[in-house]
C-alpha cells in the first residue's frame, strides 16, 4: 500500500476497512473514473468498436489494459478491482482473435464487474451467455439437432476450469451431456447478445450430470438450471476457495482455511463477499505478508503507486501491453482457457528478473509514457547517515528493507560525491534499487 493508504487502514482499523471495501458502491471513485473517460474505447458498444477500430484493433486491447492499470493505480475500490482481475483470470477469454476483440469489453462490464463480489452462480450463468465466451469456447456454433454432435469445448472447460475442477468427479459422459444441455446457445448477430436457437437444441440421452437431472426441463431453462447446480456443488466450493486462498494468501494455502472458505461459500448461496471477508480477516491472511509474488501488472501498478507516479495521459499507457507481454503476462490475451498461473515460479526466474529490474529503473526515472513522477517527494530531511537516508526513503515508499538491499542502497550513495544529499539522478537510482529488492517483488 501507499503510505497514505496504510495510514487510512490504521486509522479505520483493518476489519472496518475490509468491510468498506466489500461494499464498493459506497466508495467514491471519481479520480479513476475521470482518467478512464480519457480512453475512448472503454464502455463502447461492440458495433461502435468495430466501426471505429476495425483497422486499429490493437488499440482496443491496449486501452482495456491501460484501464486495468489506471484502476489498479487510482481506484479507491482496491479489493473490488483485485476481484475483477481474479474473475477475469478464472473465466479467461483470449480477446486477440476475430470478433472477440470487440466483445470482451462488454463481457467485463456485464459479466465480471457486476458480479465480482456477488453470487458466483449469477456470474457463471452470465458468463455462459456472454457472446465473448460463446465465441471463445465455440458454444455459439454447437448444435445437437439431427446428426450433429455438439461441440464439447465449453462443456469441458465449464467443468474443469470454471466449477468442480479437474478432480471434480466428472467423466467424458458428463462432458457430452453438458454439451447437449447447452446446445443451441448461440449469438444474435444483430444485437451481439446471446440467443437460444431451439432448432439446434436436443437433450436426447441426457440423464444426469454430477447429481443434476432434467426433471422435465429442456431448452435454455435446462442449461441455466444445470449451471446453477454446478455452482452450488461442494466440489466447486473447494475449487474456488482454493484459488481464492492461493491468490490472496499463499501459493500452497492451508487446507483448514480452504475448508472454512468453502463452507462459507455454500452457507451463503455462492456469495463471494462473505468468503472474502472470512479470508481477509483470518489469521492465515494476517500472516501472509511477502508470501505472494506480484505478477507483472500488479508489480508495475504497485511500484508506480508507492513511488508517486502520476498518470497524465492514459492513452500514452499503450506501451504497457508490450511491456507486460515481455514479462510473460499478456493481459486479456492469455492464450489458453486456464488463464495465467497464480504461483511464483513462472514469474520469478533468471529471465524475468532482468526485465523486472529494468522496469524499476524506468519507473524511477519517470520513463513510463503517459506519466510523470516527482522523485524529490521521497528525499528525506535530516538524514544523519547513508544508512538512515536509505531507511527513510524505504519507509516513505512503504518498502520492506532487508539487509542486502540496505547495503546495496548505502553503497550506491557512498559511491557518489554527495552521500546523504544525492543528486536527483542518484535518488532515482536508489529508488530503482529499492523497487528491485526481493520484498518489493512480493505483497
Q: Are 116 and 247 in contact (CB under 8 A)?
A: no
Examine the pLDDT at 417 and tell me if it is beyond 90: no
Residue 349: which pLDDT band, with cuts at 50, 70 and 90? confident
pLDDT digits (tens, 9 = 90+) for 5-44: 999 999 999 999 999 999 999 999 999 999 999 999 999 9
**423: domain range?**
376-441
Q: Which residues pair with 405 in a beta bridge?
A: none
Cα 293 from Cα 342, distance rounded (Å): 9
Q: pLDDT at position 89, please?
A: 99
Residue 97: which pLDDT band, with cuts at 50, 70 and 90? confident
Count the domains in the chain. Answer: 2
**Does 282 share its domain with 382?**
no
Examine the pLDDT at 350 and tell me if it is beyond 90: no
pLDDT digits (tens, 9 = 90+) for 130-189: 999 999 999 999 999 999 999 999 999 999 999 999 999 999 999 999 999 999 999 999
Cα 178 from Cα 227, distance rounded (Å): 9
Examine the pLDDT at 203 and tell me if it is beyond 90: yes
Which residues make Cβ contacts (< 8 Å) with residue 189, sequence separation at least 6? none
- What percent of the chain is modeled with pLDDT above 90? 96
Q: Which of 208-212, 233-237, 303-307, 322-326 has the lowest mean pLDDT?
A: 322-326
Domain assignment of residue 124, yes or no: yes
**Does 165 share its domain with 287?**
yes
**Does 140 share its domain with 283?**
yes
CA 148 to chain centre: 37
**Does 231 share its domain with 136?**
yes
**Does 170 share its domain with 286?**
yes
**Does 256 share its domain with 140?**
yes
Domain assignment of residue 98, yes or no: no
Domain assignment of residue 268, yes or no: yes
Domain assignment of residue 94, yes or no: no
**Does 232 share its domain with 123?**
yes
- Give the single-character DSSP code of 372: E
Q: Which residues pair with 1 in a beta bridge?
A: none
**Does 123 share its domain with 224?**
yes
Domain assignment of residue 202, yes or no: yes
- 58-81 burial, b at 16+ Cβ within 10 Å, e below that, comes to ebbbbbbbbbbbbbbbbbbbbbbb
pTM, rounded to two decimals: 0.97
Choose the final residue of a domain: 241, 260, 291: 291
**Does 283 share its domain with 390?**
no
Q: pLDDT at position 402, please?
A: 96
Choose the final residue of a domain: 291, 322, 346: 291
pLDDT digits (tens, 9 = 90+) for 101-125: 999 999 999 999 999 999 999 999 9
Q: Give phi and psi for 343, each to the nearest 5.
A: -125, 170
Q: pLDDT at position 304, please?
A: 96
**Does 217 share its domain with 124?**
yes
Mean of the pLDDT values across residues 286-298? Answer: 97
DSSP 5-45: HHHHHHHH-HHHHHHHHT-GGGS--HHHHHHHTT-TTTT--
Q: Are 229 and 208 in contact (CB under 8 A)?
A: no
Domain assignment of residue 332, yes or no: no
Domain assignment of residue 240, yes or no: yes
pLDDT digits (tens, 9 = 90+) for 299-339: 999 999 999 999 999 999 999 999 999 999 999 999 999 99
The three cell numbers locating residue 19: 468491510
**Does 136 share its domain with 274?**
yes
Residue 1: which pLDDT band, with cuts at 50, 70 and 90? confident
**Does 131 share its domain with 233?**
yes
The gap between the terminal CA atoms of the chain, to the nearest Å, is 9
Q: Which residues pair with 371 in a beta bridge?
A: 311
Examine the pLDDT at 86 and tell me if it is beyond 90: yes
Cα 62 from Cα 67, distance rounded (Å): 9
Domain assignment of residue 79, yes or no: no
Cα 130 from Cα 107, distance rounded (Å): 6
Choose the final residue of a domain: 291, 320, 337: 291
Average pLDDT score, the chain: 97
Amino acid at each position: 500500500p501507499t503510505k497514505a493508504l496504510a495510514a487510512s487502514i490504521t486509522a479505520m482499523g483493518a476489519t472496518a476497512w475490509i468491510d468498506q471495501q466489500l461494499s464498493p458502491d459506497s466508495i467514491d471513485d471519481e479520480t479513476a473514473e475521470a482518467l478512464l473517460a480519457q480512453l475512448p474505447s472503454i464502455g463502447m458498444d461492440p458495433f461502435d468498436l468495430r466501426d471505429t477500430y476495425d483497422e486499429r484493433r490493437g488499440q482496443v486491447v491496449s486501452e482495456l489494459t491501460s484501464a486495468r492499470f489506471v484502476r489498479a493505480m487510482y481506484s479507491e475500490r482496491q479489493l473490488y478491482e483485485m476481484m475483477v482481475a481474479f474473475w477475469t483470470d478464472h473465466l479467461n477469454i483470449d480477446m486477440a482473435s476475430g470478433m472477440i476483440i470487440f466483445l470482451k469489453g462488454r463481457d467485463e462490464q456485464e459479466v465480471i464487474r457486476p458480479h465480482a463480489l456477488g453470487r458466483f452462480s449469477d456470474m457463471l450463468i452470465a458468463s455462459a451467455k456472454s457472446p465473448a465466451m460463446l465465441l471463445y469456447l465455440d458454444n455459439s456454433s454447437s448444435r445437437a439437432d439431427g446428426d450433429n454432435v455438439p461441440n464439447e469445448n465449453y462443456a469441458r472447460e465449464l467443468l474443469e476450469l470454471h466449477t468442480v475442477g479437474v478432480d471434480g468427479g466428472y467423466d467424458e459422459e458428463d462432458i457430452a451431456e453438458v454439451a447437449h444441455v447447452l446446445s443451441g446457445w448461440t449469438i444474435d448477430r444483430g444485437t451481439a447478445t446471446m440467443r437460444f436457437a431451439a432448432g439446434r437444441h436436443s437433450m436426447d440421452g441426457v440423464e444426469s450430470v454430477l447429481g443434476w437431472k432434467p426433471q422435465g426441463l429442456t431448452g435454455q431453462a435446462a442449461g441455466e438450471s444445470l449451471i446453477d447446480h454446478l455452482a452450488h456443488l461442494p466440489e466447486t466450493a473447494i475449487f474456488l476457495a482454493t484459488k481464492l486462498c492461493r491468490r490472496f494468501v499463499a501459493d500452497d494455502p492451508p487446507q483448514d482455511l480452504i475448508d472454512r472458505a468453502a463452507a462459507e461459500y455454500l452457507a451463503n448461496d455462492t456469495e463471494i463477499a462473505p468468503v472474502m471477508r472470512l479470508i481477509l480477516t483470518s489469521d492465515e491472511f494476517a500472516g501472509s505478508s511477502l508470501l505472494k509474488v506480484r505478477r507483472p501488472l500488479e508489480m508495475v501498478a504497485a511500484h508506480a503507486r508507492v513511488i508517486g507516479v502520476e498518470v497524465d495521459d492514459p492513452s500514452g499507457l499503450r506501451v504497457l501491453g508490450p511491456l507486460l507481454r515481455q514479462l510473460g503476462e499478456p493481459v486479456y490475451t492469455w492464450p489458453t482457457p486456464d488463464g495465467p498461473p497464480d504461483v511464483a515460479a513462472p514469474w520469478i526466474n533468471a529471465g524475468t528478473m532482468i526485465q523486472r529490474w529494468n522496469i524499476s529503473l524506468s519507473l524511477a526515472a519517470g520513463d513510463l509514457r503517459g506519466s510523470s513522477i516527482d522523485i524529490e517527494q521521497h528525499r528525506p530531511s535530516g538524514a544523519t547517515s547513508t544508512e538512515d537516508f536509505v531507511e527513510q526513503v524505504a519507509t516513505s515508499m512503504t518498502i520492506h528493507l532487508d539487509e542486502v538491499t540496505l547495503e546495496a542502497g548505502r553503497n550506491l550513495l557512498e559511491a557518489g560525491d554527495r552521500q546523504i544529499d544525492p543528486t536527483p539522478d542518484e535518488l532515482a537510482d536508489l529508488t530503482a534499487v529499492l523497487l528491485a529488492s526481493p520484498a518489493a517483488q512480493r505483497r
